[in-house]
Structure 1
Amino acid sequence: MKYGYIHGEDKFFFILSYIDVFDRQIVGYHIGLRCEAKDVVMTLQSALWKRKLFTGEQAMPVVRSDNGPQFVSHVFEKACEDLRIEHERIPPKTPNMNAHIESFHRVLEDDRLSTCEFATYAEAYETVDTYMKWYNSARIHSSIHYLSPIEFHQRHLTSGLMPVKPVRV
């Protein structure tokens, strides 16, 4: 969960993102003036549809989250159970255990949120939505062969391309 600020309306907005740690793609996101458990569930369902994971023929992903109220709610836990999703919650005060999404949130903050002074919610929504599309389709990542997440995902599906293994020193 990431927060943004709308200067012209003097209020915050929420950005919820689901990242696929394999290909670094943001497979689902919610931008809103609120972010409740029902929004988290709808965004998860959307991400599963995008990856065609509602057929029941494939292994379901593991969702890792912090301990925010949306993720500890009965609504979210019931949805995970119904969807056959394993939900891992990281221990409190250990954001490094959720490093992929924390890194994405830092990039989002540095590249977009800190460079804009939003006048309206509509402007904030459009800016973040455009950024998410750019991030998935154009931003390259060294860990996935200097490809964008979408390009890496496609190459993985067609040729079995795998992420770069980190060098341990």
Structure 2
Amino acid sequence: MSEGRPAPGYSINEDGKKVSDEQIKEFLLELISGECNGYGYRKLTLALRRDQYKLKINKKKVYRLCKELDILKPQRRKKISHPRKLARNRVITESNQLWEADIKYGYVHGEDRFLFVFSIIDVCDRSIINYHIGLHCTAVDTVQILNRALLKRQLFEAQEKPVVRTDNGPQFISNTFEDHCEGLNVEHERIPPKTPNMNAHIESFHRIMEDDCMSRFEFETYGEAYEAITNFMDFYNNRRIHSSIRDLAPNEFYKLQKGKKADIKEIRV
């Protein structure tokens, strides 16, 4: 007996662009974290169709995505294990004080599927400390990359660890990620909805990656995309001139300031 056509994993917006289900989940979490907190799945469907998102999406799909997120209206009153800690204004004077993390979505045209790039950037030296490229990006993946970033900077056993700032994506509000940060004694703060400027450094990096890498190619295979993005990460960290860090590449600047040989201006975030 046929089980029907599998879900495509995306919806189309008014411009004809494919928007992944993972991105739509972020939109839903953004909506219910703000003015639309009281909406059920039917009203959330209407909100997704309107000006800000302009998605061509039906209520059955929104119901399914809400169910996957466990945000159907009757369940929203359950006790929250980890109340959101809002990002606050900070003054950064050296590396490893504040890391920003986010997920970028890409598309493999030849295979008609999305890929995910999760990156962690140091706000001071602009290095991408570690990253994940894959056909999925779960909370477990984000935990693994956070561990690798801490190990790379020799901070896994340190008493003082960086603050990690994210948006309110499903991976970051999960108990898996929150429990892990708590266990590591890592302070995790989340930006308020619709305030990407509070995650400006990782947002800026993703714009650079889009302009200089992802939009330059129409990937036929996931392997092609993986190679192109990996090469770009190497170029960005080790050779790309960055005007805000004395026209040096991020890793060059990090090594200088680690040796106390770089003048660092205060960064207010």
Give the structure 1 partner of residue 132 of structure 2: 30
Give the structure 1 partner of residue 232 of structure 2: 131
Counterpart selection for 1:113 from 211, 214, 223: 214
1:44 aligns to what SS in structure 2?
helix
Query: Could you say if the C-alpha distance between residues 164 and 147 of structure 1 is closer, same or farther in structure 2, counting changes exceeding 3 Å?
Result: farther
Unaligned regions of 5+ residues in structure 2, if any?
Answer: 1-102
Amino acid corresponding to residue 88 of structure 1 in structure 2: E
Bigger Cα Rg: 2
Shift of 1:95: 0.5
Alignment of 1:9 onto 2:90? no
Give the structure 1 partner of residue 182 of structure 2: 81
Paired with 2:263 and 2:217, the residues of 1 have a C-alpha distance of 36
Question: What is the RMSD of the two structures over their aligned residues, measured on CA atoms?
Answer: 1.2
Alignment of 1:161 onto 2:257? no
Give the structure 2 partner of residue 100 of structure 1: 201
Normalising by structure 1, what TM-score? Answer: 0.94
Shift of 1:143: 1.3
1:64 aligns to what SS in structure 2?
strand
Paired with 1:115 and 1:163, the residues of 2 have a C-alpha distance of 34
Amino acid corresponding to residue 157 of structure 1 in structure 2: K
Paired with 2:198 and 2:259, the residues of 1 have a C-alpha distance of 31
Give the structure 1 partner of residue 153 of structure 2: 51
Shift of 1:160: 3.9
2:126 aligns to what SS in structure 1?
coil
Normalising by structure 2, what TM-score? Answer: 0.60
Q: Which has the higher contact order (CA 8 A, sep 6+)?
A: 1
CA contact (8 A) 1:65 1:98 kept: yes
2:157 aligns to what SS in structure 1?
coil
CA contact (8 A) 1:143 1:165 kept: no
Shift of 1:158: 1.7
Give a deviation string over 1:63-100, Cα, whole Å, max 9, x none: 00000000000000011001110001000111011000
Percent of matched pairs sharing the same residue: 58
Paired with 1:81 and 1:160, the residues of 2 have a C-alpha distance of 34
Give a deviation string over 1:44-80, Cα, whole Å, max 9, x none: 00111110001225x2000000000000000000110
The alignment of Structure 1 onto Structure 2 pairs a total of residues equal to 165
